[in-house]
């Protein structure tokens, strides 16, 4: 980076972080999402109580159904955890997709569409090459899904970078295009399995990710076959590591974050903003496409009309925001949200409280995060506001770039949040 | 060739246009709401959720009170309430308006089904009897005109209301001081504030208006076109309305034209059994067209300058 520093001007290295300092910074990072969750749960409890159910029973069920804690004896905690991890697997990947776009100040609402494209590509390759051996077919189907998602996201990036089409609108539109494309393919279309409706043939055995629990014998008191948690979980965790490495340890990640902080400052620093936007949307789409691929390869094995009602791509927005767009945060938030959903299903059966309460909780979490959003994260519209560059972010390099263009701005201004 | 002939055949049937105009009006109400909201500088992608809330409230109240007018009023208020949440969060708290909009949509989808389960349980919500639906209004004389009569003058009362709202919106937005102020607030709130215009009040009013109109559209759907509520029954119409608003370049008349195109598309879709054409590809049309507009293929579509930017007094 072309930061003109002489040895005397050189930035002093931050003092070695003491335990309290680190605790404070962690506290700051998780304060907002934890606060949002508490806010949502308190309001949710009021709603549950007001509609004549017991909020403690309902939340107890969420805890048991989601993460297997404090369960009655007839419930198998291991099974509940397995279901939560199954739900969380594509959610982690889709959450990373939304998060990486957020990092560049792009709002990818199109993870759902990119995920559907990924699922379609995975299924097509998995069916056409069904007889190929697994060691080549499995990577191939995952790659196909990733690429298809990248293309779908890339369209958005190109439109944004070349003609300035707002990514929020194009992604919403492309979600529906993907949805109808899928319907066209599986309802009476070329992919529909003979003699069946709204479903394709299953992908080849070699294209399927393995289950993590041995399918024969019993595991934690239940037959191994009921545990659906699959190797896609490791794919998702590996993707989270790649996400972290890409953002924090590569030049491109630095450029991406610079563009996210201030397009103008990034431009002054010699970064090609259009190129960064296109690359970011390609990668974002790739993560979402991989989410679709993993769900097909590890769990569903064929395309169905479940995508009419599935909401992974939208839940991913909550995941990214709750996870503060960090890799580890996204993983935790995805597992948290998955636990809510799986717990919600259990709650519906046990406490008679509709599992849709979970959607309402999710919306309340979003409201709460949104209300603090611009002020606490300055994620959006950084170039439009003449604020001094934010110092609380994890990117001192970006602050240096920004101060470079505005020498008068003091980087020590406290966040007023 | 056969396909074209069938479509041409449809275009000269009164019944086809009746459906097309009905669907146009259903999209037009939220689309106009979107135009009003975004012209004031508040991005609104929550028409879907506001419609859904309206559709639900309408059926619940109609079943309880057996009065479609009160039910429609309840729907309007329900839509307005959702809009109020959006307004408070995005204006008072200066939140990200897109996140707030998404939250509204998720909230409406979740809460309607939650309440549906709670109020009606396993029996389900049931159907509104025909005589308690929003009525169809035949304009005597005019409804006898061939083609046009069936298309325009044998319509549900909400269709006429939508046309009145369209005229009002266009006049108010471009011919009155209020409209000028609203547009000023959406283009340059700082200048408007300096000129003594109350930015917040206008934005609150605009966002809530969009909710009232979307709520009415919801009632039109659930107790006008059909007679019950099913989960997620709006099925993306709020987003098509959003597309229509952008396609129409943030103007009432442009949005109307877009709604008409999308409405005709839906009517073709509804009569598709004779067409042998993939219904899903047809369904894609509004979205693909909107992307084409955004890509500059069909003229440039530029949002109001301050659209989506929370206003803070004293900035700039």
Residues 6+ apart with CB under 8 A from B107: A359, A360, A363, A364, A367, B49, B82, B85
**Helices in A51-133 by DSSP H: which ranges?**
55-67, 77-103, 111-128
Query: Is the CB of residue B73 less than 8 Å away from at least one CB of chain A?
Result: no
Residue A376, pLDDT score:
46
Rounded to whole angstroms, how far apart are CA atoms B280 and B283?
A: 5
Which residues in chain B (206-245) have CB-CB distances under 8 A to chain A?
232, 236, 239, 242-243
Which one-letter DSSP state was computed for residue A395? -
Query: Is the CB of residue B292 less than 8 Å away from at least one CB of chain A?
Result: no
| Nearest-CA distance B144 → chain A (Å) | 39
Residue B253, pLDDT score:
95
* Weakest mean pLDDT among A228-237, B62-71, B128-137, B214-223: B128-137
* Weakest mean pLDDT among A203-207, B50-54, B243-247, B270-274: B270-274
How far is C-alpha A384 from the chain's CA centre? 27
Q: Tell me which range, A64-78, B108-122, B194-208, B234-248, is most confidently predicted by mean pLDDT.
A: B194-208
Rounded to whole angstroms, how far apart are CA atoms B71 and B69?
A: 5
- Residue A180: which of B113, B239, B281 has the nearest Cβ? B281
Mean pLDDT of chain B: 89
Q: Give me the helix-helix angle, A77-103 and A312-322, nearest 10°.
A: 80
| Rounded (5°) CA angle A390-A158-A318 | 50
Contact assignment for B95 to A370 by CB distance below 8 Å: yes
Please tell me which residue, B296 or A130, carries the higher pLDDT value.
A130
B7-59: pLDDT as tens digits: 777 777 888 899 999 999 999 999 999 999 999 999 999 999 999 999 999 99
Rounded to whole angstroms, how far apart are CA atoms B59 and B75?
A: 9
Contact assignment for A173 to B310 by CB distance below 8 Å: no
Tell me which residue has tokens 């408007």: B192
Q: How far apart are the two ends of chain B, measured CA to CA in Å?
A: 60
Which residues in chain B (24-43) have CB-CB distances under 8 A to chain A?
43
What tokens were used for B245?
Answer: 């608003």
**Nearest Cα to Cα of residue A11 among A401, A409, A400, A388:** A400
Residue extents of the structural domains in chain A: 28-215+231-405
Model ipTM value? 0.88
| Rounded (5°) CA angle B84-B311-A362 | 45
Contact assignment for B96 to A314 by CB distance below 8 Å: no
Q: Tell me which chain A residues have a C-beta less than 8 angstroms from the C-beta of B269.
A: none
SS (H, E, C) chain B: CHHHHHHHHHHCCHHHHHHHHHHHHHHHHHHHHHHHHHHCCCCCCCHHHHHHHHHHHHHHHHHHHCCHHHHHHHHHHHHHHHHHHHHHHHHHCCCCHHHHHHHHHHHHHHHHHHHHHHHHHHHCCCCCCHHHCCCEEECCCHHHCCCHHHHHCEEEHHHHHHHHHHHHHHHHHHHCHHHHHHHHHHHCHHHHHHCCCCHHHHHHHHHHHHHHHHHHHHHHHHHHHCCCCCCCCCCCHHHHHHHHHHHCCCCHHHHHHHHHHHHHHHHHHHCHHHCCCCHHHHHHHHHHHHHHHHCCECECCCCCCCCCCCCCCCCC
Residue A75, pLDDT score:
87
Burial label, B20 (beta-carbon count in 10 A; 0-12, 13-18, 19+): buried
Residue A17, pLDDT score:
58
Q: Tell me which chain A residues have a C-beta less than 8 angstroms from the C-beta of B303.
A: 166
What tokens were used for A46?
Answer: 């009021």
| Nearest-CA distance A363 → chain B (Å) | 5
* Weakest mean pLDDT among A197-201, B43-47, B145-149, B153-157: B145-149
- Residue B236: which of A174, A176, A189 has the nearest Cβ? A176
Residue range B263-272: mean pLDDT, rounded:
80
Stretch (H or E) spanning A10: none
Which residues in chain B (74-103) have CB-CB distances under 8 A to chain A?
85, 89-90, 93-96, 98-100, 102-103
Residue B46, pLDDT score:
95
Rounded to whole angstroms, how far apart are CA atoms A189 and A42?
A: 47
Residue B275, pLDDT score:
60
Residue range B63-76: mean pLDDT, rounded:
96
**Torsion from C-alpha of A336, A339, A345, A346, nearest 10 degrees:** -130
Contact assignment for B111 to A172 by CB distance below 8 Å: no
pTM of the model: 0.86
- Residue B95: which of A166, A184, A374 has the nearest Cβ? A374
What tokens were used for B26?
Answer: 């259903």
Contact assignment for A356 to B114 by CB distance below 8 Å: yes
Under 8 Å between Cβ of B44 and B210: yes
Q: What are chain B's domains?
A: 2-294 (1.10.3470)
Query: Is the CB of residue A375 less than 8 Å away from at least one CB of chain B?
Result: yes
Q: How far apart are the two ends of chain A, measured CA to CA in Å?
A: 31
Residue B20, pLDDT score:
92
Other CB atoms within 10 Å distance of the CB of residue A133: 11
Residue B272, pLDDT score:
64
CATH 1.10.3470 fits A28-215+231-405, yes or no: yes
Instruction: Report mean pLDDT in 10-residue bins for chain A, 417 residues.
Output: 46 62 74 86 92 91 91 89 96 98 94 97 95 94 98 95 88 92 88 86 93 88 90 97 96 94 91 96 98 96 87 93 94 96 92 90 90 52 39 37 34 35
């Amino acid at each position: 980076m072309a930061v003109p520093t002489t040895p005397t001007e050189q930035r002093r290295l931050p003092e070695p972080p003491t335990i309290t300092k680190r605790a404070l910074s962690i506290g700051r990072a998780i304060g907002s999402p934890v606060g949002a969750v508490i806010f949502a749960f308190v309001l949710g409890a009021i709603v549950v109580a007001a509609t004549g159910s017991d909020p403690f029973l309902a939340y107890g069920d969420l805890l048991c159904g989601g993460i297997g804690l404090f369960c009655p004896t007839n419930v198998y905690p291991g099974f509940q955890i397995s279901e939560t991890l199954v739900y969380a697997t594509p959610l982690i990947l889709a959450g990373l997709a939304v998060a990486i776009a957020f990092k560049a100040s792009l709002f990818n609402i199109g993870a759902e569409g990119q995920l559907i494209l990924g699922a379609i590509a995975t299924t097509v390759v998995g069916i056409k090459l069904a007889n190929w051996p697994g060691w080549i077919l499995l990577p191939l189907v995952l790659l196909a899904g990733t690429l298809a998602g990248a293309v779908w996201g890339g369209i958005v990036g190109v439109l944004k970078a070349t003609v300035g089409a707002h990514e929020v609108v194009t992604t919403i539109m492309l979600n529906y295009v993907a949805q109808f494309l899928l319907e066209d393919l599986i309802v009476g279309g070329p992919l529909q399995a003979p003699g069946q409706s709204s479903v394709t043939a299953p992908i080849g055995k070699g294209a399927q990710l393995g289950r993590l629990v041995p399918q024969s014998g019993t595991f934690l008191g239940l037959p191994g076959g009921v545990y659906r948690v699959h190797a896609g979980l490791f794919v998702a965790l590996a993707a989270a590591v790649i996400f972290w490495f890409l953002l924090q340890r590569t030049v491109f990640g630095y450029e991406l974050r610079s563009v996210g902080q201030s397009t103008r400052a990034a431009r002054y620093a010699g970064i090609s903003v259009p190129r960064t936007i296109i690359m970011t949307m390609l990668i974002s789409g790739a993560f979402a496409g991989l989410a679709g691929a993993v769900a097909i390869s590890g769990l569903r094995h064929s395309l169905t009309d479940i995508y009419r009602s599935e909401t992974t791509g939208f839940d991913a927005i909550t995941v990214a925001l709750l996870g503060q767009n960090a890799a580890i945060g996204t993983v935790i938030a995805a597992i948290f949200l998955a636990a809510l959903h799986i717990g919600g299903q259990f709650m519906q059966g046990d406490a008679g409280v509709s599992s849709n309460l979970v959607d309402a909780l999710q919306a309340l979490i979003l409201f709460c995060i949104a209300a603090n959003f611009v002020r606490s994260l300055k994620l959006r519209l950084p170039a439009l506001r003449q604020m001094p560059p934010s110092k609380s972010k994890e990117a001192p390099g970006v602050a240096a770039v920004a101060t470079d263009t505005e020498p008068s701005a003091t980087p020590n201004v406290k966040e007023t949040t | 060739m056969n396909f074209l002939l069938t479509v041409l055949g449809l275009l000269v049937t009164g019944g086809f246009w009746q459906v097309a105009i009905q669907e146009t009006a259903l999209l037009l109400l939220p689309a106009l709401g979107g135009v009003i909201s975004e012209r004031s500088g508040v991005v609104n992608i929550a028409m879907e959720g506001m419609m859904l809330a309206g559709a639900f409230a309408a059926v619940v109240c109609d079943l309880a009170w057996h009065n479609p007018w009160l039910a429609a009023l309840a729907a309007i208020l329900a839509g307005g309430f959702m809009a109020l949440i959006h307004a408070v969060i995005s204006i008072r708290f200066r939140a990200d308006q897109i996140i707030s909009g998404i939250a509204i949509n998720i909230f409406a989808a979740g809460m309607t089904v939650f309440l549906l389960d709670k109020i009606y349980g396993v029996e389900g919500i049931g159907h509104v009897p025909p005589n308690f639906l929003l009525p169809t209004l035949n304009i005597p004389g005019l409804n006898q005109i061939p083609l046009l009569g069936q298309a325009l003058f044998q319509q549900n009362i909400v269709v006429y209301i939508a046309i009145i709202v369209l005229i009002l919106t266009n006049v108010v937005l471009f011919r009155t001081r209020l409209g000028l102020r609203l547009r000023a607030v959406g283009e340059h709130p700082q200048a408007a504030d300096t000129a003594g215009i109350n930015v917040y009040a206008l934005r609150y009013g605009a966002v809530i208006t969009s909710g009232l109109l979307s709520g009415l559209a919801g009632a039109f759907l659930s107790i006008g076109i059909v007679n019950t509520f099913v989960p997620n029954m709006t099925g993306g119409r709020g987003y098509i309305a959003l597309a229509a608003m952008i396609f129409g370049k943030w103007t009432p008349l442009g949005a109307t034209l877009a709604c008409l195109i999308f409405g005709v598309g839906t009517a073709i879709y509804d009569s598709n059994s004779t067409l042998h054409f993939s219904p899903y590809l047809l369904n894609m049309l509004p979205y693909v067209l909107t992307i084409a507009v955004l890509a500059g293929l069909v003229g440039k579509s530029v949002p109001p300058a301050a659209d989506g930017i929370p206003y803070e007094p004293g900035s700039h």
